[in-house]
Amino acid sequence: MQIIPVSEGPLPTATTDREQVKADVTKHGYGILKDALSPEQVRLMRSVLSREIEKEEKAGNIKESYTDRDATNRRLAILMDRHECFRDLVEDPMAMEMAQFILGPSYLNEPFLLHALSANVTRPGSRDMGIHGDTDYILPHYDAPLFARVIWFLDDFDEEVGATRVVPGSHRLGHLPIKDGSVRYESVAAEGPAGSALIYDGRLYHGTGANRSKDRERAGVIAGYIHPWMRPMGFFPLLLDPEMMKGASERCRQLLGYSTVNIGFDQPWKYAPAEIDALRVSHARPLEEMRHQVRQDETA
């Protein structure tokens, strides 16, 4: 069996230095930022998450995910309208900075989109998820950094409790993980105290670790950011509670797909219900600016 080794050099550890995290993402495909959330944010998000999971369990709405090996963990999708703390997390300045760093400039400087915002809570006995890339559906076609990922730790993430496992440097392999038994990927646990965030290039091989603790849970809030011409996991304007979105900033609504502008064209929603239409953002950049940008090669 071929063993794919971890990258050269010291591996990333949790740091408060954002430039170090960016350098780690470039070299190893991931970095861990300490103190990405304040202790108050962590406490609030963790308690909202527990409350929401309990509510959905009672209602029989907790779904198993095909991506997990068993149903001992708890996944909760679409966090954005469950509480302001998650709605506002969508436009967290650190996440915006890291998304911009990983994805690079967007066409006509149009704002990025949120792909999804969900939670994954491992519980004692939860099996590991298995190694995958979050762009395994893209990589057969394009090998590019098209997906920026942030996982906020709402509990301490360590190996025992099922911290996300990562295969350092695997974002540069250029192909899907080989799963025919001929290869073993050496993974390490991305560890950090509650309030830290794991930032990674979506091509990185990784997966939830197994929770081998007796009595500890591990909650992660997972966000993805994509270019505005890609497709988010859901059409959020029709999935989110308009009442909660009334309090969202314009930036937040753009990230959630309320913009009707794409590649410079504005196509207003003719049939949207009034309360959703009221949330629409339709600022295109000035025509002259866009003309200049697409004709730069002619004037150079």
Nearer to ligand AKG, 111 or 162 (CB): 162
Selection from Fe ion, ligand AKG, none that 187 binds (CB < 5 to 8 A by kind) is: none
To Fe ion, the closest distance from the beta carbon of 27 in angstroms equals 20
Nearer to ligand AKG, 170 or 208 (CB): 208
Distance CA 97, CA 199 (A): 11
Selection from Fe ion, ligand AKG, none that 120 binds (CB < 5 to 8 A by kind) is: ligand AKG
To ligand AKG, the closest distance from the beta carbon of 64 in angstroms equals 13
Residue identified by tokens 């057969």 is: 140
Nearer to Fe ion, 12 or 133 (CB): 133
Site of interaction with ligand AKG (CB under 6 A): 67, 120, 129, 134, 164, 206-208, 220, 222
Site of interaction with Fe ion (CB under 5 A): 134
To ligand AKG, the closest distance from the beta carbon of 144 in angstroms equals 19
Contact 164, 230 (CB under 8 A): no
To ligand AKG, the closest distance from the beta carbon of 220 in angstroms equals 4
Nearer to Fe ion, 4 or 108 (CB): 4
Nearer to ligand AKG, 66 or 142 (CB): 66
Distance CA 229, CA 227 (A): 5
Selection from ligand AKG, Fe ion, none that 169 binds (CB < 5 to 8 A by kind) is: none
To Fe ion, the closest distance from the beta carbon of 255 in angstroms equals 20
Nearer to Fe ion, 137 or 271 (CB): 137
To ligand AKG, the closest distance from the beta carbon of 16 in angstroms equals 22
